[in-house]
Structure 1
Amino acid sequence: MSAPTHRTAAALAGRRVWLCDLDGTLVDSAPAHEAAFRTALAEISPGLLGSFEYGAHAGASTRQVVRELGVDPALAERVVGRKQRLYRAYVRDGAVAVLPGARRLLTLLTGRGHAAYLVTSASRESAAGVLRACALSGYFRGVLTADDVPYGKPDPRFYRRACQAWAVDPASAVVLEDSAHGVASAVGAGLLTLQVHGGAPADGAVPVRDLEEIVSLLESETPGTGVDPVG
């Protein structure tokens, strides 16, 4: 085990609460989100379509993205509603897939009696649709969405609210995120934060290649966990 990997494994030791992001972390939803945004903008606010880059807004809620784009306030709710309806239709059609290692990681956590919670910038209806379509609902003890909090990632209050909601001691928890927005929220709340599937590591995050690497780190703590590699 390399020195950085050993340090990461040591940091995880004894942490029994996992606060997990959804989009880009556990499921591959970026193409569906981007397509929904582009169609909604093209239909309602086409002048903004040329400057839209989904990657710059990853981790933000739909309403945050619409505000950041400068959509006319008179049109904002129409864009939000249309984008969400389109995205939910894509989800129902199977356009969002579970990322490699996600089910294996969640199975390992629950099998060891760890608590997994979902902390997502998605709306409650969209998050529920993804969990249902991807058969991930049963892994989480609680779900916090953009509908439940009046501020979003990267605001640290998003993750602070999650800790308050579930009486989580930050010293016993680890956050799993992919985006700079999500990392900033979690790190700002004083939480150990693993960043997966990212490019350049965001400030304060512990970079991890992918979910399979996290599974390997956890399995190395206790040989022979007996977890099926369901991927």
Structure 2
Amino acid sequence: MVIKALIFDFDGLLMDTETTLLDSWRAEWTRHGLRLDESTFFADHGGDTTDDQYALLAAAAGPGFDRAASHARRTAYRNERHRSLGLTAGMADWLREAEGLGLRLAVASSSRREWVAGHLARTGDLARFEVLACGDEVAGHKPDPAVYRLALDRLGLPPEAAVAFEDTPHGVSAAVAAGLRCVAIPNLYAHNARFGQATKLLQSAADCTLATLLADLEAAT
């Protein structure tokens, strides 16, 4: 079936909010004279892990830990970083190219709709996306395929008519479970060896044109 739509993950794929997240937590651990264990920082599932991260920091920092103050500092730090944060390398070109090819665009993210829409509006890219399907609209987070199924339902398309784009192994698993072909562009904190389920693996959206990529996908079916 001809590809009619592209469905993108958000965090780490369209925008590198993973680095700002890690940096904000690293700064808080350092403030308490502690070292964040970065090897276990990123979860193997979508959704919010804030409470878990604060529980770890509070246990390490001891009884004097002030979560409210920590959260205020961390949020302010991250918000400042986000003021100048744009799309990841090559992604703006892909989105423009997709529009020229007449492709429909969607986002399928485990994050809240307010978060996704706010960032895309800030960069002027929100109007490019016909559909947003977000974590606060489904019961399960990736690798649960619910958010991809919601995106397909809102597009009114079968999975064979769309391609997913992901930056994490659990995101790829969610897309594949929804019946989608999935192009993986691993984020800085995900190992390439864990993307065996992906239909195709790239290091960056800048590696090739979107037209070339889609032609390769269609030729392989």
Q: TM-score band, normalised by the shorter chain? A: 0.7 to 0.9
Normalised by the length of structure 2, the TM-score is 0.73
Counterpart of 2:203 in structure 1 is 209
1:189 aligns with 2:178: yes
> Does residue 30 of structure 2 align to residue 24 of structure 1?
no
Equivalent positions of 1:131-170 (< 5 A) are 131-170=120-159
1:91 aligns with 82
TM-score, scaled to structure 1: 0.70
Deviation at 1:132, TM superposition (A): 2.4
Tell me the distance in 2 between the aligned counterparts of 1:41 and 1:144. Answer: 33
Q: Distance in 1 between matches of 2:68 and 2:138?
A: 21
Aligned counterparts of 2:35 and 2:79: Cα–Cα separation in 1? 21
For residues 44-94 of structure 1, what are the alpha-carbon distances to aligned partners after superposition, in whole Å with 9 as ceiling and x for unaligned?
A: xx8x9744546632762224x64588669xxxx979x756665444323x2
Specify the code of the residue in structure 1 equivalent to 2:166: E
Structure 1 residues 55 and 70: CA distance shift in structure 2, 3 A: closer
The residue type paired with residue 82 of structure 2 is V
- Cα contact 2:107–2:132 (8 A) shared by 1: yes
- C-alpha distance 109-49 of structure 1, shift in aligned 2 (>3 A): same
Distance across 1 between alignment mates of 2:119 and 2:105: 17
Structure 1 residue 179, shift from structure 2 partner: 0.7
Query: Structure 2 counterpart of 1:200, which letter?
Result: A
Give the Cα–Cα distance (whole angstroms) in 1 for the partners of residues 112 and 76 of structure 2. Answer: 11
Gaps of 5+ in 1: 1-12, 222-231
CA contact (8 A) 2:131 2:154 kept: no
Match for 2:81: what amino acid? Y
2: distance between equivalents of 1:50 and 1:220? 40
For residues 166 and 202 of structure 2, the distance between their equivalents in structure 1, rounded to whole angstroms, comes to: 10
Taking only the aligned residue pairs, the percentage that are identical comes to: 22
Task: Summarize deviations over 1:114-144 as a string: whole Å, max 9, x none.
Answer: 1010111222222123212322212100112
CA RMSD of aligned residues (A): 3.4
Which residue of 79, 98, 101 maps to 1:112?
A: 101
The answer to whether the 8 A contact 1:88-1:129 is kept is no
Closer, same or farther: CA 146–106 of 1 in aligned 2, 3 Å: same
C-alpha separation in 2, matches of 1:153 and 1:56? 13
SS in 2 for 1:26: coil
- Alpha carbons of 1:189 and 1:22: their partners in 2 closer, same or farther (altered >3 Å)? same
